[in-house]
Each structure stands twice: as structure tokens, then as C-alpha cells.
Structure 1
Amino acid sequence: MGSLGAWVGERGFGRPAGAVGRVGGWLMVRANGMTEKHVVKLAGLRPKDHVVVLGPGPGVGLRWAGKYAAVVVGVDPSKTMLIAAKHRSLDLVETGKVQLIQGDAASTHQPDESANVVLSVNNVHLWPDRQAGLAEVHRILKPAGRLIVAVHKKWASHDLSAEVTEAGFTDVTTSTWNPPTRTAGPATILTAQKA
């Protein structure tokens, strides 16, 4: 049963695939949607901003960010989630305002210093190599660019602030946000800036 649970967790949420991944995406919309919208609002996106969303899943936050920024790039390792995100933001994809790329936190395929803001909601704990992911985020952010990470409090690493600081970020702060819904628990929100 343990290996079945791990398989379902990986196929439903880690790297969603197939029918299990589609169910996982539906659950993500319900559990993460409010937090994704909150993080986009917290980012205070401007019309000229270039935003990278790491692990956009089914695309709730991606679409929300696309309403405010010039360009929003969603980077996800899951083809199933990229299809769902494209479906959710088809009008923005067709105009080029939203772009979707298969990759992960450590391999975004973005140019150096190209993004003003990088967002990640409820997936930093799934990054295979968090140090490599943070180094990649640092590489693609412009000077003074901002990183905003939200993660369910129960999955938040006590070392995340230290890891972000070690990766070269400054003004690292954490707070707790309680989504106004029963489908999601408290989230730890980390904000940081590239020096």
C-alpha cells in the first residue's frame, strides 16, 4: 500500500500524469486557488512585468498573473498540467501574454536576468534539488527582482529562509496566511529579493 500511495502522490501531485493527474489538478484548483490569487495580489504585478510561475499546475495563478503582467511564463514538469493550464488561459496563450514551457525549478529555459518576479505556490517542497532551483531563480531574476513562495504550512521547511538567504537573496521574510476556505490550510509565505 505504501508504494501505491507514493505512486498516486507522484502521479497526482508530484508530476501529475494521466487520469490520476487530472484528478490531482482538480484538487489543486480547490486547495490552491485562493492561495495562488493571494500570492499574485501580494506580488503587486505591474503592466511591464515579466513573471515566471514555477509549477503552475492547472493554471489558476498563471491566469490571474496574466491579467496584470506583460508576460507570464509557466514552467511545469507535467505535460498533463501544461495542457490544463493552456486550456484555462487559452485566450492569453493565443495573444502570447502567457507562455508555457516544460521544465522545472532548476531548468526554466529562461534567459539570465529576464524576470521581475518569480512565483511558486505549493510545490517548493517537491523540487528534486532545492539548491539548484533557488540558484536558477537567482539567475533568471533581474536585480531587485522578487521571489514569492507559498507552501502549505504543514509542508514548509524550517530551513527554507536560510536556503533562500544562502542562495543570494536579501530581505527574506516569512508570514502565515489563512485562506478563507475549508479546502486549504494555513500557508507559509516567503518573500525575498535579488540583491
Structure 2
Amino acid sequence: MLANKISQQLGRPTQSLLGWIVKKFLTRHNQVMEVNAVRLCGIQPDDTVLEVGFGPGLGLEAAASHLTDPRGKLFGVDYSEFMYKLASERVQGLITSGKATLHQASVDAMPLSDSSVDKVFHCNCYYFWPDLRAGAAEMHRVMKPGALMVVTLRTEQVAWAASKNLIPVENWRPESYMDALRATGFTDIQMEGNMDKNITFQAIFATASK
């Protein structure tokens, strides 16, 4: 019962005691992966960038620091009303200035235009999607031809969480996600190991087909 409640909060945190604990966990444990997802994207000053599943907003802040050109824009999509509220507070200045726009929405129904995004990144979230192919197809829709997507995760931690039923066991394997990317038009799909601050993590790269 408790594992199921934690799994629900990890996938869609609510404004509750467990949701607050999940927020503290994400803020502490996702920092390195968020920053590295942004770094590996190679964001240019005038890019249009999307983070899927932005959580408390750490990756949004990191990405915004690279968007120094007035044409640079930042979008974020997260299913959780609680995370949307927290992230909106964190990047309120960016929202007010028009640099950032956040949406509370599902990855498979994003309110973004076709072929509008240069870079996409997400961290520790695809295994909570109800349909990997639907989410991948929607990301492909909003990405410009040749646009890059980067995903960061720690496979050992994710495998452990799946073994404890803390995350859905069906979709966590990177191979399943990479298969969904291939099936929805992504190319140049690869996974590589990385290390930062003595933390080992994996990064998945994929390019939207031209």
C-alpha cells in the first residue's frame, strides 16, 4: 500500500505530506542529472527549449541561464499541479519577462506548436508515462527536424525502485523507451554512461527525423 502511494506521488506529486517529501527528494537527488541534461543538450542562446516533467524547476533554471539571446525561449510541461505551482514560483521572473512559459499538461497532449522546439530534455520521468509511444510521438511532433532530445537517469537506482514497486515496472528499462523513440520517428538513438560529482548516470540521445 505504501509503495503504491509513493509510486503515485513520484509520478504525479500532490500538495500533501508525501508530495512534499517527494519534492525534497527530487530537489536533492535530481540536481546533477538536471544540470547535465541541460549541458548535454548544447543549448544555444537563441534556442527554443522544452523540459518535459520539470518537477520543482531545477532544470528550467539551468536551461534559462543558456538562453541569453532575446529570441531564446523556454517551455516546460508537467502533469502535476503541485510541481507546476512550485516551479512557477521558482522561475516567476522568467515567466513575467516572457522568457519562460510553463504548462500543466500531459506529455502526450502538449499545448505547443508543431516543429517549434530546438532542444528537449527530461530527467527521471519517462517510466511514469502511461504510453511510451504516445509520449514519444508527441515530443517528435513539437520538435523541429534535426532537433536533439536528451534524457538523463541512473539505471541502477531506477532498477532498484522498480524492484520495490516504487515506479511502474513495465516502462522503466531504457531499451523500452529507446524502442518507443525508434517507432515514432527518432533517429541516432544511443545511450552513454557519464559521471559528475562522483555520481554515475546514463544519458539517452535522440534526434527528430528530418
> Does residue 150 of the first structure (1) align with residue 164 of the second (2)?
no
Structure 1 position 169 matched with structure 2 position 186: yes
Runs (4 or more) in structure 1 with deviation over 3 Å come to: none
Q: Structure 2 length normalisation: TM-score? A: 0.85
Cα distance in 1, alignment partners of residues 107 and 202 from structure 2: 19
SS at match of 2:66: coil
Residue 58 (structure 2) aligns with: 60
Aligned to 2:26: 28
- Aligned to 1:178, what secondary structure does the other structure show? strand
Alpha carbons 1:72, 1:98 under 8 Å: kept: yes
CA distance in 2, matches of 1:103, 1:179: 31
For residues 50-84 of structure 1, the C-alpha deviation after alignment (integer angstroms, 9 at most, x for no partner) is 11100000000011111113111110011110111
Whether the aligned pair in 2 keeps the contact of 1:51 and 1:115 (CA below 8 Å) is yes
Q: What TM-score does the superposition give when structure 1 sets the normalisation length?
A: 0.91
Shift of 1:141: 0.3
3-state DSSP of counterpart to 2:204: strand
Residue 17 of structure 1, aligned match among 14, 18, 23: 14
Instruction: Flag the structure with more relative contact order, 1 or 2, with Cα contacts below 8 A and sequence separation at least 6.
Output: 2
**Offset at residue 37 of structure 1 (A):** 0.4
SS, match of residue 46 in structure 1: coil
* SS at structure 2 position matched to 1:159: helix
Identity %: 29
Aligned counterpart, 2:48: 50
Q: CA deviation at 1:186?
A: 3.4
Matches within 5 A, 1:132-147: 132-147=134-149
How far apart, CA to CA, are the structure 2 residues paired with 1:132 and 1:88?
Answer: 29
Aligned length: 189
The 5-angstrom pairing of residues 60-99 of structure 1 reads 60-69=58-67, 70-99=72-101
AA matched with 1:149: V
The answer on whether the counterparts of 2:123 and 2:151 sit within 8 Å (CA) in structure 1 is yes
What's 1:40 paired with?
Answer: 38
Separation in 2, partners of 1:10, 1:80:
13
- In the alignment, is residue 186 of structure 1 matched against residue 183 of structure 2? no
Structure 1 residue 101 displacement after superposition: 0.2
